Structure 1
């Protein structure tokens, strides 16, 4: 080729490169937004290695988050910059699916910034949860199949000292700022800590991986790895728990506030209104929620009173609930009996799922006891989602502590809520939607997640559960418990209720045990707004189902409706309504 021709080709190529963006070949706005979403997610997993591990991203398995005041401020500033970048994009130019991602991401970033602005990071624990409660569960949450896995595990144990000290720094600043838990919910705080302060490392729950190795770890490596784990427990974990115990006893409990509700915090009423919007994802006020709760309690009480009449019980509601709380026929005699009842319930529900859903998750679930060291301060049950890489199933944790507080007549509703068709089915399906960006696959909105699980309890009625009046009363007990939350949470945090008022209201309107009621009320006190999500989410899903049934008539298929509801993951309730209307328009 001649020099002249070569120059001509080069010039034409240069002109073509200049023209490409002018004629639509530049990166599209959807691609720009996807790149930004990926950048934010990379930031999130780097800042929270425990989150990364739980999603199946094992790049940071040897690290723990840094949680000092400086780290918290740095993360907040990064999120502020991310928000600016998101807002700079023209939402109207995005595709319909990208607009959903845009709205959800915008909401999440704004919520996170508001939480920091209200100094919520200075209260990093609750009456039943926190870093000190969660950390002993680490062996169940991380991969332990290779030598590298064990070395990463030991590295995390060594990092625990700094992790605990960062939380102490936050909480010490909280005391100075008037941002603490109410002292009334701190009774028994030392139990979870004392369980981790052991004389010998081999006594620690965190030593469990050193007691049994998989075949993939060579026998000649066992002693070295056991030594690493033991030394990390002895030199990092136990001293950190001792420091945290001293801080709690000498500084935090004496410095904790005597007031109860969120309204007593600095800018407290504004903070609680923010919490209402955050946890319900709706534009509603505390006053509206309180009145809705009163109405729901009255409605459900009517259904409960009808059951009392049906069983021909001689006495009023209070006498009937006393009978349920005290009669031995309603309680298991052993932990094994309780767990067997739960397992039977779930096995029966597994067989009913194809009548309710067109698509089921691939990931299985299992049943475990709530760990002994946290059981006295923990609610009746909870669920742990499966790992993102599919190596760990989901688990339904049942509290077997104090069997006289675990009525068998609530087992069906509780199990449907925590496992299937509740949390496990919804969250496992969500993680399997590979078209969703990671920030949606591995997170969600409480109003959707808990609203769905409460709705799932009611689905048992449609497939033959609650066969006797007592189990149906148990279902209603669980439902009225969530309705009472609307009244009690707003009562405590907005209308100045005392703890005694909240306990009395729960006692008068449910068959929950006294232990459960006190534990639950303390949970609401320490976690403002979260308890509102359950009933508000369930009511919205039921509203959307009614709308679909009326629009479609005989063409309504419950499996199609449920697949649609769950098909976009846990979205805000206003987004869920838009999704439902779009789906209906396409039917």
Structure 2
């Protein structure tokens, strides 16, 4: 397969074959290969911003603040043709005339395009949501991407609001196409998804999240303009957007839910076996079958459970494994009494981790992050916590903590959650990627699930070395989170390839982890609605642990954890086979530095 094999081939060629030739051939348009590649990257990036104006706004591109995406089926087909054309342009560029770094850029770019084309072949836009988010929540998150400091910001935002009803209509049309072709979300999870649609269908404009920016307008905007803009917002909301949200909720509950499929697994969809195989490759970057991943998951579950039982024995708890889980799920000592208490504890853990970062990383990002509660409108069926990336010119990264149903948010799991979502997990990795120099923009934005989520899970275990876990209960919470990710390998493949029922999936987590029943139900719905995505976490972590063990064995006393972590993160998000090649080269550099001095290491680095 090109996207992996071609990337690996770059690092297996002799150095002489990778050198930049002074006599570059011209491409079909008369451009040198490096110039043709640079233009291709720029053209695709422009197309990407045009397709995703919410995301463009989040990246600080103010020209997109008045726009909404074109979600129509016609637009999706056009995007398919455009991406195929980009791939064809890439194929005619003479790679022998590129530097090593440009060849890596070209191959990663090709991998992105091929993955996108492979997924679009199944027309996934017919299901434009998962259990806890979707096109509708993307629209609300896009509010935060606008600074709201000037009249122009508000006028652009009003223009965006006036177009959102069309965006909603396009997504309804896509969902209708899904109903007609049997490509729908399973009916079993839709009762819990419906509230996220209902939350937008409020009766009064002043109660809408989309009106909130007009409640806190800056003093620098004259009163007459404030009144004008507020009235315009009321008009747009009352006449266009709120009727659109109400129509969406009515469609979802009256048309979509009754007609949605009564099966669970993605393999029950048209061409579902091939679709799931594609999703496994996409989310793990590995060529593994569902059965192989299922077996790996069962093995990891058995190992982790033995470690959990050792902690229970060490605590002297009298009772069974199930009794201990019930104790953890019900004893008030393990739960915050207020949402603010939970947020305060999360922020405290995050600051403890911040202090310890220099001992484990040479390179740290400049971008800060904050801690916030998940918005009420989406919290009931939202995951326990999540990282929201920085918005240029507006805010840093956000570690989002779910404060809904506090009796289901145990404090003993909070250290693991914080390490994963904030630092040294997602914020550190994503912020560093955004700050990489001398790479095309798509590299800074690239996110490979197995890499990013594998890194997040790896950092949960790194927290042991960092001294973050203070009690046996917090260590058990860490193992519960690791069990959660190992269980995903079993449950995701069980549901989507082996005919598991929802009850079987819930029972598996209930019996093997200390997750609350609320979290278990929420997470199982997530795996049902988002096939394959949950596989990236544990598969990525296993590869990172394998690579660290390889480096420690090869370098012995010369192994430097800070240098290893820099080697993992310095190139941004990568497919796992390419990360493996990068770490092998890091081991070569470090070995050469010890054997022959820094000159040899510098020579290898320049290659």
Q: TM-score, normalised by structure 2?
A: 0.91
Cα deviation 1:110-166 (Å, max 9, x = unaligned): 111111212212111112111222323333222211111111111111110000001
Match of 1:30 in 2: 34
- Corresponding residue for 1:15? none
Alignment match, 1:367:
371
Match of 1:508?
A: 511
| Aligned: 1:89 with 2:93 | yes
How far did residue 319 of structure 1 move? 1.1
Corresponding residue SS for 2:64:
coil
Who is 2:183 aligned against?
A: 179
Aligned to 2:523: 520
Give the aligned partner of residue 420 of structure 1.
423
- Structure 1 match to 2:120: 116
- CA offsets 1:385-411 (integer angstroms, 9 cap, x no match): 002x34311111111111110001001
CA distance in 2, matches of 1:27, 1:90: 11
Residues 293 and 490, structure 2, Cα contact 8 Å, conserved in 1:
yes
Aligned to 2:284: 280
Aligned to 1:436: 439
Counterpart CA distance in 1 for 2:68 and 2:295 is 44
Give the counterpart of 2:332 among 309, 328, 339: 328
Q: Residues 60 and 145 of structure 2 are in contact (CA less than 8 Å); yes or no, is this contact kept in structure 1?
A: no
TM-superposition CA deviations, 1:209-248 (whole Å, max 9, x none): 1111224433331111111221111122101101111211
SS at match of 2:398: strand
Question: Which of 94, 99, 102 is the equivalent residue of 2:103?
Answer: 99
Deviation per CA, 1:449-498: give whole Å up to 9, x if none. Answer: 11111111111100112121110000000001000000000011011111
Q: 2:382 aligns with which of 355, 359, 378?
A: 378
The answer to whether 1:337 aligns with 2:338 is: no
CA distance in 1, matches of 2:200, 2:268: 34
TM-aligned CA deviation for residue 24 of structure 1: 7.0
CA distance in 2, matches of 1:24, 1:167: 46
Alignment of 1:118-517 (within 5 A): 118-387=122-391, 389-517=392-520
Does the CA-based 8 Å contact 1:45-1:52 persist in structure 2?
A: yes
Question: What are the residue-to-residue correspondences of 1:562-573 with 2, within 5 Å?
Answer: 562-573=565-576
Q: Which runs of 4+ in 1 moved over 6 A?
A: 21-26
1:34-73 aligned at under 5 Å gives the runs 34-73=38-77
Is contact 1:138-1:206 (8 Å) kept?
no
CA change 1:578–1:390 in 2 (3 A) is: farther
Q: Deviations over 1:478-535 (max 9, x none)?
A: 0010000000000110111111111111111100011110110110000000000000
SS of the equivalent of 1:346 reads: helix
Query: How far apart, CA to CA, are the structure 2 residues paired with 1:289 and 1:262?
Result: 16
What SS does the aligned partner of 1:372 have? coil
Equivalenced residues, count:
566
| Alpha-carbon offset, residue 22 of structure 1 | 7.8
Structure 1, unaligned stretches of length 5 or more? 1-20
SS at match of 1:368: strand
Using the alignment, how far apart are the partners of 1:101 and 1:240 within structure 2? Answer: 42
**Cα distance in structure 1, aligned partners of 2:393 and 2:357:** 21
Query: Given that residues 53 and 60 in structure 1 are in contact (C-alpha distance below 8 angstroms), is that contact kept between their aligned partners in structure 2?
Result: yes
Sort the Cα spacing of 1:583 and 1:511 in 2 relative to 1 into closer, same or farther, 3 A.
same
1:434 deviates by 3.1
| Larger-gyration structure (1/2) | 1
Higher mean alpha-carbon deviation, 52-61 vs 368-377, is at 52-61
Whether 2:559 is the aligned partner of 1:538: answer no
Residue 86 of structure 1: how far off its partner (Å):
1.5
Shift in Å, 1:70 = 0.8
Give the whole-Å Cα distance in 1 for the aligned partners of 2:397 and 2:239. Answer: 33
CA distance in 2, matches of 1:188, 1:303: 34
Whole-angstrom CA distance in 2 between matches of 1:467 and 1:192: 37
Partners of 1:50 and 1:80 lie apart in 2 by 24
**Aligned counterparts of 1:434 and 1:209: Cα–Cα separation in 2:** 35
- What is the Cα deviation at residue 198 of structure 1? 2.6
- 3-state SS in 2 of match to 1:260: coil
